[in-house]
């Protein structure tokens, strides 16, 4: 893809014009940069209606991170932009404006879109929601763009959902500076021991503690679970789990337990950054799971809650 570029043009109002008539206080006047971004690789994360025929658009771009823009006239019946502006579709976009809310002037296909369905589609929606919740507007994260694109490739190829999601979650936190050392006790600095019990703290990592006699709270993990998670994060392949022992059913049970522990671990790692507002994509996942367990005549389509159905 062709990397986009940005031009900054300075607003050059006449010096005497702004001092005459209704004078502005010179201490409050600032030249405002007009940002232009041309043919920038991007993906649409979310759109919602704006005024009569326009839409507000959140995009993940290669060189500028999260961008927010107004796409004018796209809700008209004959709008070409509307047909191009689809999620999980590699795009080239051109934008201009001042501040955080830009105008989306041009959008075109950069490559064929990703074909996703079922749980793989819902998983991709979850990735989009994470990006919108964790990224700050116009902060460059080219590595996150590439990790997102790799995740879409894995989802289209129907790789392991759990491995894909956990790897994306961890890489996202890693690129934002929130990751922790996966291999050591953060207090003692010693390598994790398989038979030891560890408490996870999102701010600094693992700490060895005495195993409780009763039921373990969610923040406690066995060392072998954490070591398996570290190995899975190091493989770089959503279809290649950590090495198995060759014991058949025992390996399967161990892998299932490891996936459950990894999911629990990453939920705790993400929670401080997501806050108390629930993720809509998780609710959709839950609704789909319930629907799949119903008889055919009892199923209904998944409908967005009214408060979120506005976009």
- In a shared domain, residues 13 and 96: yes
- In a shared domain, residues 287 and 150: yes
- In a shared domain, residues 49 and 106: yes
**What is the per-residue DSSP string for the chain?**
-PPPEEEEEE----HHHHHSSSPPPGGG----EEEEEEEEEEEEEEEEEETTTEEEEEEEETTTEEEEEEETTTTSTT-HHHHH--TT--EEEEEEESSSEEEEEEEEE-SPPP---HHHHHHHHHHHHHHHHHPPBT---HHHHHHHHHHHHHHHTT--HHHHHHHHHHHHHHHTT----SSBBTTT-PBPPTT-EEEEETTTEEEEEPPPSSPPPTTEEEHHHHHHHHHHHHH--TT-PSPP-S-THHHHHHHHHHHHHHHHHHHHHHHHHH-SSPPHHHHHHHHHHHHHTS-GGG-------TTTTT-
| Domains of the chain: total | 2
Print the domain residue range for 285: 142-292
pLDDT (tens place) for every residue of the chain, 311 residues total: 444 444 333 232 333 333 334 444 433 434 557 899 999 999 999 999 999 899 999 999 999 999 999 999 888 766 778 889 999 999 999 999 999 999 999 999 999 999 999 999 999 999 999 999 999 999 999 999 999 999 999 999 998 999 999 999 999 999 999 999 999 999 999 999 999 999 999 999 999 999 888 778 888 999 999 999 999 999 866 654 444 444 444 444 556 678 999 999 999 999 999 988 888 887 777 776 555 544 444 333 333 333 343 33
Domain for residue 227, yes or no? yes
Task: Quote the pTM value.
Answer: 0.78
- In a shared domain, residues 199 and 96: no
- In a shared domain, residues 282 and 166: yes
Q: What is the CATH number of the domain that holds 247?
A: 1.20.1440.120
- In a shared domain, residues 82 and 177: no
């Amino acid at each position: 893809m062709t990397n986009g570029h940005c031009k900054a043009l300075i607003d050059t109002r006449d010096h005497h014009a702004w001092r005459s008539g209704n004078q502005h206080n010179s201490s409050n006047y600032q030249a405002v940069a007009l940002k232009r971004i041309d043919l920038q690789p991007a993906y649409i994360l979310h759109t919602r209606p704006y005024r009569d025929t326009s839409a507000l658009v959140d995009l993940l771009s290669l060189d500028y991170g999260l961008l927010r823009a107004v796409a004018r006239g796209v809700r008209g019946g004959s709008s070409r932009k509307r047909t191009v502006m689809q999620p999980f579709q590699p795009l080239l976009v051109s934008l201009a404006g001042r501040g955080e809310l830009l105008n989306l002037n041009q959008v075109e296909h950069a490559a064929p879109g990703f074909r996703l369905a079922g749980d793989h589609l819902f998983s991709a929606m979850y990735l989009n929601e994470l990006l919108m919740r964790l990224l700050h507007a116009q902060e460059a994260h080219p590595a996150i763009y590439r990790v997102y694109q790799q995740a879409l490739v894995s989802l289209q190829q129907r790789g392991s959902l759990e491995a894909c999601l956990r790897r994306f979650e961890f890489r996202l936190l890693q690129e934002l500076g929130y990751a922790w050392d996966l291999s050591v006790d953060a207090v003692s600095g010693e390598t994790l021991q398989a038979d030891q019990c560890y408490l996870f703290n999102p701010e600094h990592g693992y700490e060895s503690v005495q195993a409780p006699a009763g039921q373990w709270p969610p923040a406690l993990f066995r060392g072998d679970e954490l070591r398996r998670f570290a190995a899975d994060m190091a493989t770089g392949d959503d279809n290649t789990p950590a090495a198995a022992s060759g014991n058949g059913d025992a390996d399967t049970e161990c892998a299932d337990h490891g996936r459950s522990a990894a999911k629990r671990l990453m939920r705790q790692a993400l929670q401080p950054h997501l806050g108390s507002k629930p993720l809509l994509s998780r609710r959709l996942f839950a609704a789909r799971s319930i629907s799949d367990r119903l008889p055919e005549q009892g199923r209904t389509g998944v409908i967005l809650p009214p408060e979120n159905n506005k976009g």
